[in-house]
Amino acid sequence: MEEKHKKILQRNRTNLVRDLDPSKLCDGLLEKGVFTQDMIDEIKSSGTRRDQARQLVRDLETRGSRAFPLFLQCLRETGQHSLAEILQNGAPTAQLQPATPTQPVRPVVQPLPVSSPMDVDKQSKDAVPVYPLQRPSTTPTPSPEKENIRPRAQGRTRRDSIQSYKMDAMPCGHCLIINNVDFDPQSELSNRKGSNIDCDKLERRFQALNFIVEVKTNLKQRQIKHELSALSKKDHSQYDCCVVIMLSHGTDVRHNRFPGAVYGVDGQHVPVQNITNYLNGQHCPSLQGKPKLFFIQACGGGERDTGFEVSPDEVEPSIGGADDQTDAIPMSSSSDSLSMSDEPDARVTLPTPSDILVSYSTFPGYVSWRDTQSGSWYVETMDRVLEENAATEDLVRMLMMVNQEVSQNSAKGLYKQMPGSFNFLRKLLYFQTQK
């Protein structure tokens, strides 16, 4: 986008955030090629209407020279004439020209000599022709296609240029572990053998990472909400981080941001998105700007993943056994078990979830496997990865290691599991480790 158009958007940002209706613009901006589908999805998931408007304007500034006049056109087409006039009065008349298709320039590839398998020994003795690589010119060639590519900030791809969270408080922060093992018979949920093994591992691990660890066992839905509410009311000002770990049965629920729900031992669930709300900036001001980590060892649904075939070099030995169980419960029809009357301090809202990371033991909609003798695949792997790598690696990279290792396991020689995270951290996170 031209600099003069960026300045117009910046001068009118207040009006745009206050009055713009992004929901009416998305289809038009997508059809006209201003935004990609991924960008539209990101805007729609930004939160409130004002948050979406702010994200839309911010993204618009990164698009090509045709983005501004096309944006004005979309405003008029959707009846937002006053905003269009405000922006038009600050901008010279722009004539839209159809995009000119460009013929991509393809490099000339010279084929390497082809030999039969019988010539392998001969190739090792005879010289093989080497074709020099064509190195790119030091002078960049401008391309019209680059107008629709987001500019990448200088140096942003380097890990050492990204800031790290402050993580040197003594102790680092609170860690709440809720471990639901024995379920009421009326709940029709099975007991979770092996969960105590997970709980013990995680308690020791986060104590070693300098957290104040508190374990709560066999909580009903209301008790889960009470403990989360109590945690949100603590003064975290002297700490740098907060961790919540949920070990229970789970289910899939409708959601706006974070999928899944966790069951109390009474068979009533709490959606994950409500669990995170207890510690967001609105409900827990002393954790504003600080990392809030949630680890969910529970099923995201009832589907079982049988995986797909891969090449032999992708396969590693699996650790699944005959004692593997799941934490799955069928999808619930309710999306909100957080009562407005009994927990007014934790009502459902959708602010921007900055500084939050939610790590799931399994992909939403699928079961999570747990060995009755050695604990769950996810916790066992995460404990080992933290032990071996926390001194040198950041959290997101370690969770990727967990994803890779767990994805290689098989339950009953057939079923697979894929952990994943919803990451809204703004900086790298390095845990404290014992020197």
For residue 241, what are the β-bridge partners? 173
Residue 188's domain spans which residues? 173-423
- Residues 218 and 373: their CA atoms lie apart, in Å, by 20
pLDDT, tens only, 354-385: 899 999 987 655 554 545 566 677 898 999 99
CATH code for the domain of 58: 1.10.533.10
**Any catalytic annotation for residue 249?**
yes
185: in domain: yes
103: in domain: no
Q: Pull the structure tokens for residue 324.
A: 């593997």
Element (H, E) at 25: helix 22-31
Indicate left, alpha or beta for 155 from its phi (over 0: left) and psi (-120 to 50: alpha). left
Q: Is the pLDDT of residue 45 over 90?
A: no
Q: Are residues 80 and 179 in the same domain?
A: no
Q: 249, 269, 283, 284: which is the annotated catalytic residue?
A: 249
Domain count, the chain: 2
Q: Are residues 67 and 212 in the same domain?
A: no
pLDDT, tens only, 264-286: 999 999 999 999 999 988 889 99
Q: pTM for the full model?
A: 0.55
For residue 421, what are the β-bridge partners? 359
116: in domain: no
Q: Are residues 263 and 393 in the same domain?
A: yes
DSSP category for residue 72: H
End-to-end CA distance of the chain: 50
Mean pLDDT, rounded, of the chain: 74
Q: Are residues 283 and 395 in the same domain?
A: yes
Q: In this structure, what are the phi and psi dihedrals at residue 245, rounded to the nearest 5 degrees?
A: -120, 125
Nearest to 34 by CA among 75, 4, 88, 84: 75
- Which range of 65-69, 128-132, 159-163, 418-422 scores highest in mean pLDDT? It is 65-69
171: cis peptide before it, omega within 30°?
yes
Answer yes or no: are the C-beta atoms of 342 and 357 closer than 8 Å: no
Last residue of a domain, one of 68, 89, 110: 89
Q: 26, 242, 284, 299: which is the annotated catalytic residue?
A: 299
Q: Reading across the β-sheet that carries 261-263, which strands appear in turn? A: 250-251, 261-263, 269-271
Q: Are residues 221 and 360 in the same domain?
A: yes
What would the mean pLDDT of 31-37 be, rounded to a whole number? Answer: 88
